[in-house]
Structure 1
Amino acid sequence: MLIFYIVVTLLFSVRSYGEICPQPLKIAVAESWPSSVLENLARYHQPFKEIGCTVEYQKVPLSRSLQMVSNGKLDGDTYRIAGLEKDYPNLIRVATPMARFGYYLYKKRKASLNIDQPKSLAGSKTCITFGNRLRRQISNELKLQVLEASNTSQCLKMLMTDRVDIFIGPRPEVEDSAFWNSKDDYTRAEKPYVSTNLYIYLNDRHREVAKQLEKILGKYFITDN
């Protein structure tokens, strides 16, 4: 009788997990992210797999991805700061963060700006990618002049051609070797301007998925400060 109970319980568990994800989840990936960020993101197939879900990453513009999730055209989005659910009616945030990254100030190595004293940078020019809320917040705090571009590659080209003075971002993204001829091209501040948790967002029809992910996502947490 005990063996029968255990088997039934296991079968019910598997069925329950399968029912929360009857189809693969389409998760947004910013088309501007370089290979190093995508490699980090690949590790998150596993927590979804643990709860009986499969994931298909789909490249979309960063500026549109959250709206697409809220509208139900996509199932989720990743590497986003907290609080965005307030702006989208059908968006929920998985409470357990997926990562914590430091956002550094970068400049050309020969530039005279002192990026270790952020308050001295008021009036300097920076580039932000469309839809990046955190970079916008930092730019406002530091009173920077802002130019916008579609992706990080375009922003860093602006930096190297002196169209902007500084760029803001996490090391795994900004220091991808695809963007630079050598590490001598740039220098970063000694400490991050801010360190922030980054989260997975889902359409609210996936509340059970979010609930299950919250229990296990801590095992996959990464940080790079």
Structure 2
Amino acid sequence: MFRSVVVVLFVVLVLPVSGNAGALQVNTSIKPPFSTVDETGCIDQLLKELGKRLDQQINLVRLPPERALIVINEGKSDMELPRIAGLEKKYPNLVMVPEKVLDYHFVAFSRTKTKYDSWDDLKGMRVGYIIGWKIFEKNVPPEADVTKLRQPLQLMEMLEQGRIDVALYERAAGQHIIHEKGFTTIETFCTPLADRPMYLYMHNKHADIVPVVASHLRAMKEDGTYSKIFTSQQH
């Protein structure tokens, strides 16, 4: 009897999650430089490595931010990233993997030298951000004139054209658009309105493997794989 228990524990704790159950569908709305069409961004590489360690195929599905949350909450996909902590309060079928994927720096972009160092600085301003970005929905003051858009490029184009005063977005992703499109009038405020660790969420039907996924993410950081992936992105 004791020997049988030992064998069972070995199977549960040591063997990888099997890929026999089919591919895991991962929602994301993340944009370059973190994720690219040819899947060479740092998040793309991180997911591929995670799939190898889980012995599981991972398929990336690109959806708008708000739609992505609805889809996974309904159990129509398996994972969603990257997201701020605490979303399970609004989406009860989600389980956060308790190991951060990366840090996001939420900043203001503007066409003037005016500094936006706090949320209160946005009062009375024409502010744009992407639909489904919960941190902006929660923190932008009601005194701001808000325009919500579906695509980051639309957001930056509206700012470039002077149709909004401030565009709120992630720093590296916004700078990527500015550089790629050659926008010359937009200022990036390097002091973030907020810095947040970003996480991967899973539908609660996969709650049993959440600790396994977290352990693989930690192992990547400990063995240098994580650093290698994210350092290569900077070159």
Q: Which residue of 2 aligns with 1:24?
A: 23
Q: Superposition pairs for residues 53-72 of structure 1, below 5 Å? A: 53-72=56-75
Q: Which residue of 2 aligns with 1:36?
A: 33
SS at match of 1:214: helix
- Is the Cα contact below 8 Å between 1:115 and 1:188 reproduced in 2? no
- Is the Cα contact below 8 Å between 1:114 and 1:121 reproduced in 2? no
SS at match of 1:17: coil
Counterpart amino acid of 1:85?
E
Deviation at 1:10, TM superposition (A): 7.7
**Residues 47 and 121 (structure 1), Cα distance of their counterparts in 2 relative to 1, 3 Å cut:** same
Superposition CA RMSD, Å: 2.8
TM-score normalised by the chain length of structure 2: 0.79
The percentage of counterpart residues that share the same residue type is: 18
State how far apart, in whole Å, the 1-side matches of 2:183 and 2:28 are: 26
State how far apart, in whole Å, the 1-side matches of 2:177 and 2:151 are: 16
Number of residue pairs the alignment of both structures matches: 211
**Residues 139 and 179 (structure 1), Cα distance of their counterparts in 2 relative to 1, 3 Å cut:** farther
Q: Which residue of 1 aligns with 2:215?
A: 215
State how far apart, in whole Å, the 1-side matches of 2:54 and 2:21 are: 12
* Unaligned residue ranges in structure 1 (runs of 5+): none
State how far apart, in whole Å, the 2-side matches of 1:166 and 1:40 are: 28
1:101 to 82, 104, 107: 104
Measured against aligned partners, the alpha-carbon deviations of 1:75-130 in whole angstroms (never above 9, x if no partner) come to 1100101111111221111011111121111112xx25333466443110111211
State how far apart, in whole Å, the 1-side matches of 2:207 and 2:213 are: 10
Q: Which residue of 2 aligns with 1:86?
A: 89
**Residues 17 and 117 (structure 1), Cα distance of their counterparts in 2 relative to 1, 3 Å cut:** closer
Measured against aligned partners, the alpha-carbon deviations of 1:8-64 in whole angstroms (never above 9, x if no partner) come to x589944x5216x6211000021xx43312012112221232122221001112111
State how far apart, in whole Å, the 2-side matches of 1:56 and 1:165 are: 38
Larger RCO: 1 or 2 (CA < 8 Å, sep 6+): 1
2:80 to 69, 77, 80: 77
State how far apart, in whole Å, the 1-side matches of 2:13 and 2:188 are: 52
* Unaligned residue ranges in structure 2 (runs of 5+): 1-5, 36-40
Q: Which residue of 2 aligns with 1:163?
A: 163
Q: Superposition pairs for residues 195-214 of structure 1, below 5 Å? A: 195-214=195-214
Q: Please, which moves more after superposition, 98-107 or 115-124?
A: 115-124
Q: Superposition pairs for residues 104-143 of structure 1, below 5 Å? A: 104-108=107-111, 111-116=112-117, 119-140=120-141, 143=143
Deviation at 1:216, TM superposition (A): 2.5
SS at match of 1:36: coil
State how far apart, in whole Å, the 2-side matches of 1:190 and 1:89 are: 35
Measured against aligned partners, the alpha-carbon deviations of 1:109-165 in whole angstroms (never above 9, x if no partner) come to xx2533346644311011121111012223138x42210111111111111111111
Q: Which residue of 2 aligns with 1:153?
A: 153
Deviation at 1:179, TM superposition (A): 6.4
Counterpart amino acid of 1:68?
V
State how far apart, in whole Å, the 2-side matches of 1:26 and 1:117 are: 37
